[in-house]
Each structure stands twice: as C-alpha cells, then as structure tokens.
Amino acid sequence: MRAECPARAPQESLFRYGINIERKERVIPSSAVNKPNFDSRLIIILRLGAFFCFAGWTWVHFYWEGPYGILVWQDATYVFAERIGIDWEEFVGSGADDGFVQKWVARIGWFYLICAVITVIVRKGSWIQMAALVGGSGLLTILSYAKYVASQRQPPMFIEHGGQILMPILLVTALALGVRHRVTVTTALLALVTTFAGHGCYALGLWPPPATFHAMTSVILDVGYDTANTMLHTAGILDFLVCIGIFLPPLRRMSALYAAAWGFVTAIARPVAGMSLSLNYWGADQFVHEAVLRAPHVFIPLFLFFLWREPQSAENVARPPGLTSDDSGTTRPITCTID
C-alpha cells in the first residue's frame, strides 16, 4: 500500500507510525550552478578594460594628435609620398592640420572608435569583430613603438604598454577559448607583468624616469624631490614583488588586488595632479583621458583576482522541505511506503 506523505511532515513522526521514507536527492556542486554567470562577469571586466583603453586613445587622436610624428616626419616618409605623386606642400600642409600626414593620423582615430564599439558588441563566434580587435591591438603596438622611439628607445617605455597592447587580445581569447583557458590566463599574466615591470624599471631609476613621475608625486602629496624619489623607489620595489608574487599561489590574489589598486592610483594621478578650477572644463579635456586609457592596468589585475577566488563551500543546492529530484533533475514530492 502506498500513500502520499505530507510535504512538511517531520521524519521522526513518520517513523513512529511505521512509515519508511524513500528519499533520493541529486547533489549539484555550487560551482557548476554559478560558473556560467560568474564567467560572464569576468568577460564584462575585460570588456570594460578594452573599451576604456580604446576610448581614451580615440580622444587623443580626435582632440590632440596621435604620437606617430616621430615615425612619419622623416625623409623616408617624404620619399615614399613623392613616389605616389604627393608634393612637399601637400605632404606638410599649410599648418592647419591639412597635410597628408595630419589627415591620416586623424583618420586613425576612427579605427580606435570602431574598436571601442566592438568591445561592447562582440560575442563568441563573431570572428570578423574579433579580427578587428586583434587589428586594434596592432594599432596599439605601433602607437607604443612610436612612444618608445620618442623616448630615445628606452625599453621600459614599450614594455609598460604591454597591458594596453594585450587588452584586446585578452578579450578575444576569453571569448573564443574561455576565461579559464590556459592561453587566456597566460595572456593576462603577461600583460600584468610587462606593465608593472616597465613601470618598476622607471620607478627604480634603472632608466631615466619621465619627468611626470616626480612631478605628480610632488604635486599630489606636497613633498620635495628627495621624498618623492624615495617613494618612487619603494613603489618600484613593490612593482617587481608583484611580478613575482603573481606566480605564487598563496600570494597571487593579494598581488593581483594590490596591482589593481596601484594601477588605479597611478592612472587617476594624472587628472588629480593636472586638473584645476582655473582651467577650461577644469582641465578635464587635457587629463581625464590619461586615466581612461590606462584602464587595462586596473581591469586585468581585477580579472585575475576574481578568477582565482576560492570556490564556495556549499555542497548542495538548497531545496524546499519535502521535495527531492530524480536523475533528470525533475523535482517531485517524497514518496512514502507504509508497512
């Protein structure tokens, strides 16, 4: 004889009346339930980093000028222009940004704008859009090389742009292969290490640091040159410690969190030190983009920090009392057998 038992009947009471409960529960690891939603949040972090990086450089190209002058204002470039039928006046222009070089440098800004939009709409399997982002990474590589040449070929200048160069590729690999794939994680680690190693080389004085390093420290903290220099040396040591700690499992999350915090501080230091109430738009048009384009310095460490978080300890998914599920996952009332 079989009967349906009350859904909330206490188990002890049922045994008292000679009822044996047949309970079969399906154990579902909490990581399996939360993984897709959690991975999508990691993708959002990468989208934000790539979007802000491209958006910041878009502003540079449209409002100011891309740093390609060191590469194009050369005799070899003019010789090339002559070969394709462009004379000197057309090549240099009238001084109103109407020359051959200025026009093409400005047009490059449209490519950065397109890449910024693609970072928001690209999806897994959108191979054309992914290819465009890889092309955007190539543009960032050329831009970084131009800054490297302008710095009299100091290696840290190119190395510290590694995070920005690899940010679009990191988003592409995360979409194509998954956020936990070895290639994705390796790309993120390489981006973080290059950024902080390049910055650390300058902060420690291994190469002559840009004047803005000491200027920002002195202005924001109201300290003298010697104190600012000591603080930069300390930051440089910590930069290299992060590059080591990120590979040590007990220290990697702490290192990633510090890297994200320090990346935010160094990025926001540009507008904080440069903006003033006495300037037009408070100087936002001159300095805010300097923080925005450095977004990868913040979002790449954040990506690693959340990627390496500890799994939840819960073993089962909570169910309403008196309900169980079969192997297909269908929830049904408990069936009781009366002796």
Question: Residue 319: which pLDDT band, with cuts at 50, 70 and 90?
Answer: very low
Mean pLDDT over residues 285-293, rounded? 93
3-state secondary structure the chain: CEEECCCCCCHHHHHHCCEEEECCCCCCCHHHHHHHHHHHHHHHHHHHHHHHHHHHHHHHHHHCCCCCHHHHCCHHHHHHHHHCCCCHHHHHCCCCCCCHHHHHHHHHHHHHHHHHHHHHHCCCCCHHHHHHHHHHHHHHHHHHHHHHHHCCCCHHHHHCCHHHHHHHHHHHHHHHHCCCCHHHHHHHHHHHHHHHHHHHHHHCCCCCCCHHHHHHHHHHHCCCHHHHHHHHHHHHHHHHHHHHHCCCCCCHHHHHHHHHHHHHHHHHHHHHHHCCCCCHHHHHHHHHHHHHCCCHHHHHHHHHHHHCCCCCCCCCCCCCCCEEECCCCCEEECEEEEC
Please give the pLDDT value at position 185: 97
Question: Residue 317: which pLDDT band, with cuts at 50, 70 and 90?
Answer: very low
Please give the pLDDT value at position 59: 94
Average pLDDT along the chain: 83
pTM of the model: 0.79
Question: Residue 28: which pLDDT band, with cuts at 50, 70 and 90?
Answer: very low
Task: Give residue-wise pLDDT tens across range 95-151.
Answer: 666 677 777 777 899 999 999 999 999 999 999 999 999 999 999 999 999 999 999
Task: Give residue-wise pLDDT tens across range 243-270.
Answer: 999 999 999 999 999 999 999 999 999 9
Question: Residue 14: which pLDDT band, with cuts at 50, 70 and 90?
Answer: very low
Mean pLDDT over residues 234-243, rounded? 96
Please give the pLDDT value at position 58: 95
